[in-house]
Amino acid sequence: MVAKAARAGIPVVVSKAAPLSTGVLLSKMAGMTLVAFVRKPNLYVYSGEERVV
């Protein structure tokens, strides 16, 4: 899913599920923001922390 978003030029990917390690690596290499385990009140930012306020 991260690879498809990167090819489409989408800068932010948010998921309720856990990311694969390859997805985390790809998101870092592509300069994307990857957020996962999004459930109230928590979320985990795996890459692109500077975009999350």
Q: In the Cβ-directed half-sphere of 20, how many Cα atoms lie within 13 Å?
A: 6
Reported as a single tens digit per residue, the pLDDT across 2-51 is: 999 999 999 999 999 999 999 999 999 999 999 999 999 999 999 999 99
Nearest Cα residue to 37 out of 16, 19, 22: 16
The residues that bridge with 13 in the sheet, in sequence order, are 34
Query: Residue 33 sits in which domain range?
Result: 2-51
Query: Domain total for the chain?
Result: 1
pTM: 0.89
- Give the sign of the dihedral formed by CA 21, CA 26, CA 28, CA 32: negative
